[in-house]
Structures are given as structure tokens and as C-alpha cells.
């Protein structure tokens, strides 16, 4: 008699396993699908947020850089305006080194100064050799 009960028990065991599989597989698939959807939405949201933040950051840096250049150029322009009114400028041909040294001392960020003279000559301070292949073209104004 024991064997028929075990066969009966085995039959219910198979039924239980298949019932368990019937519930377990869809639930696991639903959890995996839900997790995938949440991960995808989270990824897309983070990409949009990060892109927006980086764009704003770069725009801010570019505005700051632009303002820095504006300040630098306005400073150099004011120094040049002061030199324009200086008496040494009238005699630039004779006092080139003195004038350029004064300008370089006034603006410490300036390393090299280039200017064209009325004679068509190119003058640079401090004196450097531009090479034989450096050609100064004259433009008619």
C-alpha cells in the first residue's frame, strides 16, 4: 500500500512543481523586465541631466574666458592710449628700444612686441631673428 501512496504523492509533486513554475517564471520575467525598464529610464535621465550640466558648465567657462580676454585687451588698449600721447612716440624711429622697453614694463604679460614703421620696416622687441624666409608684404591702404 505504500507504493500507491508514493505514486499518488509523486503525481501531486509534479503538479506542485508545474504550478510553482507557472507562477515563478512569469514573476521572475516580470521582475527582470521591470528592472530593465527602470535601468533604461534612469540611464536616459542621467544622460540628459549630465549633458545639460556639462553644457551649462562649458558655456559659463567660455563666458568667463571671453570676459578675461576683454579685460586683458582693454588693459592693453588703455596702455597703448597712454603711449600714443607720449612724446617719445613722435620720435619712434630714434627711440625704438626705449619705447618698446617702457611698453613691456607697463604690461608684464607682453613677451614680444611687433610694430611696423612708416618706412615699411618691421621692428620687433626684444630683437629676434625672424629668418631669411620671413617676408613683410606691403599693403596699399
Report pLDDT digits (tens) over 2-47.
Answer: 455 556 556 555 556 677 777 888 899 999 999 999 999 999 999 9
pLDDT of residue 87: 65
pLDDT of residue 129 exceeding 50, the answer is yes
How confident is the model at residue 1, as a pLDDT?
A: 44
**pTM here?**
0.48
Instruction: Residue 123: give the domain boundaries.
Output: 90-141
Q: Minimal CA–CA distance to 97: which of 119, 129, 124?
A: 124
CA separation for the pair 128, 104 (Å, rounded): 15
Q: Are residues 44 and 99 both part of a single domain?
A: no
**pLDDT bracket for residue 103 (50, 70, 90):** confident
User: Are residues 59 and 11 both part of a single domain?
Assistant: yes
What integer best gives the mean pLDDT of the chain?
A: 77
Pair 78, 103 in one domain: no
In terms of domains, do 107 and 52 share one? no
Q: If we measure between CA atoms, which residue out of 118, 81, 115, 85 comes closest to residue 100? A: 115
97 and 52 together in one domain: no
Does residue 19 sit in the same domain as residue 68?
yes
Domain count, the chain: 2
Q: Are residues 62 and 96 in the same domain?
A: no
d(CA 51, CA 135): 47
- The three-class DSSP label of residue 108 is coil
Amino acid at each position: 500500500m505504500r507504493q500507491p501512496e508514493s505514486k499518488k504523492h509523486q503525481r501531486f509533486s509534479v503538479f506542485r512543481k508545474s504550478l510553482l513554475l507557472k507562477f515563478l517564471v512569469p514573476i521572475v520575467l516580470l521582475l527582470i523586465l521591470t528592472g530593465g525598464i527602470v535601468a533604461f529610464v534612469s540611464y536616459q535621465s542621467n544622460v540628459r541631466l549630465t549633458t545639460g550640466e556639462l553644457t551649462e558648465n562649458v558655456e559659463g567657462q567660455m563666458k568667463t574666458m571671453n570676459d578675461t580676454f576683454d579685460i586683458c585687451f582693454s588693459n592693453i588698449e588703455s596702455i597703448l592710449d597712454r603711449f600714443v600721447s607720449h612724446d617719445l612716440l613722435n620720435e619712434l624711429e630714434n627711440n625704438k628700444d626705449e619705447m618698446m622697453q617702457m611698453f613691456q614694463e607697463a604690461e608684464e604679460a607682453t613677451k614680444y612686441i611687433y610694430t611696423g614703421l612708416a618706412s615699411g620696416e618691421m621692428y620687433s622687441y626684444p630683437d629676434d631673428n625672424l629668418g631669411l624666409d620671413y617676408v613683410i608684404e606691403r599693403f596699399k591702404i
